[in-house]
Structure 1
Amino acid sequence: MRQFPLELRHVAPGRVVEWRLRSTAGPAGADGGDPAGRRASFNQDKHFTVAEESRGADDPVASWLAITFEVEGALDEVALARALLGFVRRHEVLRCEFRRLAGELACEPLAPGELALEAEHVASFDSAERLRAFLVERFKRSIDTLSWPLFTMGAVLRPDSATVYLAFDHIVCDGMSMPIVVREVMTAYEALRRGEEGALPPVPSYLDFAEEQRRRYLSIDADDERLDYWKSFIARNGEFFPRFPLDLGVEPDRMYPIVNEASSLLDPAEAEVFEKTCLEVGAKPFMGLLGSVAVCLRDAGGPGVYRGFMPVSERGRGSWNDAVGWFVNTMPIEFDASPGRDFAQVMAAVRAGFGEMIAHIDVPFVRAWELLAPQEFAARSWPYPVNFFSYIDMRKCRGAERHHEWRPATHVWSARANGACSWFQRDADGLHMNSLYVDTAAARRTMGDFQDALRETVRSVARTGGFRRPGRLAGPRRSAEQAAPLRA
């Protein structure tokens, strides 16, 4: 399971069916309960606020996360509809409508029994190209942060197979929610096909997580000692956001269309050797990759001390592993990757930097941003290109042993940006990279060279146990089209 642009997913043509979620009891909260009793998380509140402000300025900010996966054999539409409805009923955050009440963002969840699905035949396609264009446009038009429901569900049906898709607004899920989607929907679907109910055990609600988070951190101020890690980082960095250190050719206060690009860095055998090399010096594979990123940025003209943002899952603090929601905290990390340091020395620095970061993981990013950089917090985007690194080992997700059958893939999209973000995934097919960055000539050169250098660096670690020598590239770049497509 990996992440790459939806445009690169080959979906065989067929008949498109979508299942529309509707309420049987009117607007959310209409059952007479307390609609103001549930509050959004800090992540959700900031995300919704940006959508409100951009809509008011006629400058809409749009994005989505999606998953596609395969069903072998003729699709049982009734069974899939029941599986999808069960999935939505199971996760409270998916049943929520968000409303601004007295300045705060309220979540108004519908009761599970007040939801129903309506099937709709959308269109039939005899061309994979036209189908792909339709799905890309469908996701863009269907996902709206300010409108309920906050996701769309459908399938492309063929006589002997089907491709199922679900696309979500970020306000209700994160990247680690995507493996949960495919596992739960397919587990329920397969059980229903066998004539079983396939009921899953109850799962905790993300709204409970959000409530606990707000209770702990809403009242803190800028003098709270729990912000000391952030303050020390800011003091050394010179500002709240760690800048992406290479030229992307962007102008201040301007947003750009994006390039969404994916490729493979290591094949399965190389990834195994890379992991072994990291473990030999006491580092985890993501540390080896992060250190390699730091060395490549340094060799391309960046600083010897790496400073960047790193999203960290908050699911491990409780029983949230099977819950859908936005369980992500974004934290600053720094370590020394100066010239002359060998692989083991850089790994020791990464390990120490990561340990220090994790020791201060509690304070939510949005709260730290609001308290320590209020001027930037008032803006609708990060102020300039920010150094960002994300890594997920998809092999460790529940249900990964079935991924070769279901063939799931995740996809992210954003309308515009002012910098670059890179996500890395490890799966049974190796190590992969997906980057979204501004569509400028300088950014295309910079990110292309960076990708080449990183591929050579991680291969050098796998083959020789050390970093590559600066200035050497691995040869002609493979295009994203060559590296990424999956066949349905």
Structure 2
Amino acid sequence: MINTGVASFAQERRVRVVAGAPHPGHGAPHPALRAKNVPLLCRLPERVDVVALSAAVRALVERHPVLQYRFLHRDGRVSLRWAGAGVADVECAVVDRSALGTADGAVRAFLRAQVDAPFDLLGWPLLRAGVIQDDRPLFYLCADHTVCDGWSMTVAMRDIEAAYTGLLRGRTVELRPPGDYLRYSAAQRRRYTSGPAVERAVDGVRAMLAGRAVEPAFPLPAAPWDAEHGRYTEFDLLDAAAAGRLLDYCRSRRATPYMAVLAAFGVAAREIAGRAEVGVLVAMHNRDERHTADSVGWYANMLALYFPTFPVDRFDDGVRAVRDRLMRLLVFAELPLSRVADDLADTNDNGAGVRFPTCFISLTDARTPPSAGGSGRWEQLDLAPSYRMGYGLWVVLHDTGLRAVTASPRTSAGVASLAGLESRIADVLRSAAVPATA
């Protein structure tokens, strides 16, 4: 085991900001912004063997190198040092459901507290796990975004479930060899530190932005924002039948459901705020290869997507516009935003997440694969990440339909705008998913 490693561009940038050494164009972060945690929430079929579950969480740490290192920040430099000798101390916390009381929302409030609590970014480990013990227990895991992304939590659930099941049955469950984020990080450094190819890519993104901010601001009038507290919502967009019709609609137009969601967001922003163009951050997961698909780490790259908005009666035009802009953006999918943000930043506008909220939208397909045969025993549930740096909309395609969760700083003046936005997005998608015979 090597004792040191190199941080990725994204890791280095986050550590520097949180550690209090701001990048150009960024002020010191509000303390509430230090928590940028990615959660996993699962419902289990029966009461948990906590000893076995703790061992399964330790197996996750032992399996993925990125979880075994701590960050060092000295003289403006960020490095990694192996801390995995302490893996034996990693435990799964347990609380009985009855201890949380009977008040409505008590369980959700407890889970939010676990997810929202910031990690000491220079400490270790940068994850916590626990279980709410009950006849159908809830298992939660959250990690600082610096060591994982949303895809990583799906990998983590598979790995922990397999290890836990194997321990209960007294046998090892074989999994494919995982990728190593540290190797990915080192390769990223070699590829994107400098050189003509990097300069051409940066110039290409600069031309595409055409003076727009690298980190798009939330486009609706919802200020002032209160970063001390979070606003979290959950709502259904489409039932299973309507979601199926939306998929048919998208296929007929060579589009994806994500493009339809973005176009619906554009309709809502146009109607509520009069915006002829909006910008959002989109995630490029960069998980196309086996060694990244099965690995825990911060592989997702973020890039700014700007697109024109259209009224609802021209929704097809909106979908086409989103598709066109998104396809052009995909050329730069592997160019780390954290590497080029300072090169591209207009210091008068950059710094979203410090001075004003960003806007982030994602869509995940969580439908059960046909090959799974319904054998999954752990049911993954929706839980918004800790996200106070902006307005985040996470849309998930389930077997039961299309569902959304949001996270943002709390706002008093903007409650009506946010609620109207979310309601209108749902309305627009329902209108796109009307039956073909209607």
- CA offset at residue 325 of structure 1? 0.9
Superposed, which structure 2 residues align to 1:15-414 within 5 Å? 33-35=2-4, 38-53=5-20, 59=31, 61-101=34-74, 103-110=76-83, 115-117=87-89, 124=96, 126=98, 127=101, 129=103, 133-141=109-117, 143-158=119-134, 160-219=135-194, 224-235=199-210, 237=212, 239-250=213-224, 255=227, 257-316=229-288, 319-339=291-311, 342-373=314-345, 375=347, 381-395=353-367, 405-414=377-386
The verdict on how the C-alpha distance between 1:165 and 1:403 changes in structure 2, with shifts beyond 3 A counting, is: farther
Q: Is the 8 A contact 2:50 2:94 kept in 1?
A: no
- CA offset at residue 104 of structure 1? 2.4
The verdict on how the C-alpha distance between 1:457 and 1:231 changes in structure 2, with shifts beyond 3 A counting, is: same
Residue 409 of structure 1 aligns to which amino acid in structure 2? L
Q: Secondary structure at the match of 1:435?
A: strand
Residue 69 of structure 1 aligns to which amino acid in structure 2? C
Moved more, 424-433 or 454-463: 424-433
Q: Is the 8 A contact 1:69 1:408 kept in 2?
A: yes
- CA offset at residue 49 of structure 1? 1.6
**How far, CA to CA, are the matches of 1:200 and 1:404 in structure 2?**
16
Residue segments in structure 1 that go unaligned for 5+ positions in a row:
1-30, 467-488
**How far, CA to CA, are the matches of 1:454 and 1:201 in structure 2?**
40
The verdict on how the C-alpha distance between 1:125 and 1:361 changes in structure 2, with shifts beyond 3 A counting, is: closer
The verdict on how the C-alpha distance between 1:163 and 1:385 changes in structure 2, with shifts beyond 3 A counting, is: closer
After superposition, the C-alpha distances for 1:375-433 in whole angstroms (9 at most, x for unaligned) are 4799583442333321111227899765864122243454744x422121111121112
- CA offset at residue 68 of structure 1? 2.1
- CA offset at residue 188 of structure 1? 1.9
The verdict on how the C-alpha distance between 1:39 and 1:296 changes in structure 2, with shifts beyond 3 A counting, is: same
Q: Is the 8 A contact 2:217 2:359 kept in 1?
A: yes
After superposition, the C-alpha distances for 1:240-294 in whole angstroms (9 at most, x for unaligned) are 333322201227xx84533111111111111111111111111111111111111
- CA offset at residue 213 of structure 1? 1.1
Residue 276 of structure 1 aligns to which amino acid in structure 2? D
**How far, CA to CA, are the matches of 1:125 and 1:340 in structure 2?**
46
Q: Is the 8 A contact 2:220 2:269 kept in 1?
A: yes
**How far, CA to CA, are the matches of 2:54 and 2:215 in structure 1?**
44
Count of matched residue pairs: 427
Residue 120 of structure 2 aligns to which amino acid in structure 1? D
Q: Is the 8 A contact 1:376 1:383 kept in 2?
A: no
**How far, CA to CA, are the matches of 1:416 and 1:66 in structure 2?**
14
Q: Secondary structure at the match of 1:309?
A: strand
**How far, CA to CA, are the matches of 1:298 and 1:460 in structure 2?**
17
Q: Is the 8 A contact 1:50 1:380 kept in 2?
A: no
Q: Is the 8 A contact 1:93 1:205 kept in 2?
A: yes
- CA offset at residue 445 of structure 1? 0.7
Q: Is the 8 A contact 1:273 1:462 kept in 2?
A: yes
- CA offset at residue 219 of structure 1? 2.4
After superposition, the C-alpha distances for 1:162-208 in whole angstroms (9 at most, x for unaligned) are 32221211111111111111111112222222221113232111111
The verdict on how the C-alpha distance between 1:40 and 1:72 changes in structure 2, with shifts beyond 3 A counting, is: same
Instruction: Please give the TM-score of this superposition, normalised by the length of structure 2.
Output: 0.86
After superposition, the C-alpha distances for 1:315-364 in whole angstroms (9 at most, x for unaligned) are 12563111111111111223333448733333222221111010122211
- CA offset at residue 442 of structure 1? 2.8
**How far, CA to CA, are the matches of 2:355 and 2:93 in structure 1?**
43
Q: Partner residue of 1:435?
A: 406
Q: Partner residue of 1:483?
A: none
Q: Secondary structure at the match of 1:166?
A: strand
**How far, CA to CA, are the matches of 2:120 and 2:403 in structure 1?**
29
**How far, CA to CA, are the matches of 1:347 and 1:58 in structure 2?**
37
After superposition, the C-alpha distances for 1:103-145 in whole angstroms (9 at most, x for unaligned) are 321122345x763146587655522556655544445457332
- CA offset at residue 154 of structure 1? 2.2
- CA offset at residue 62 of structure 1? 2.2
Q: Is the 8 A contact 2:43 2:380 kept in 1?
A: yes
- CA offset at residue 369 of structure 1? 0.9
The verdict on how the C-alpha distance between 1:51 and 1:192 changes in structure 2, with shifts beyond 3 A counting, is: same
Moved more, 347-356 or 372-381: 372-381
Moved more, 268-277 or 147-156: 147-156
Q: Percent identity?
A: 26
- CA offset at residue 458 of structure 1? 0.4
Residue 427 of structure 2 aligns to which amino acid in structure 1? E
Q: Is the 8 A contact 2:305 2:325 kept in 1?
A: yes
Q: Is the 8 A contact 2:53 2:164 kept in 1?
A: yes
Q: Is the 8 A contact 2:35 2:117 kept in 1?
A: no
Q: Is the 8 A contact 2:15 2:73 kept in 1?
A: no
The verdict on how the C-alpha distance between 1:57 and 1:284 changes in structure 2, with shifts beyond 3 A counting, is: closer
Q: Secondary structure at the match of 2:10?
A: helix
Residue segments in structure 2 that go unaligned for 5+ positions in a row:
23-27
Q: Secondary structure at the match of 1:345?
A: helix
- CA offset at residue 99 of structure 1? 0.7
Residue 147 of structure 1 aligns to which amino acid in structure 2? G
- CA offset at residue 89 of structure 1? 0.4
Q: Partner residue of 1:423?
A: 394
Q: Is the 8 A contact 1:274 1:462 kept in 2?
A: yes
Residue 125 of structure 2 aligns to which amino acid in structure 1? P
Residue 417 of structure 2 aligns to which amino acid in structure 1? T
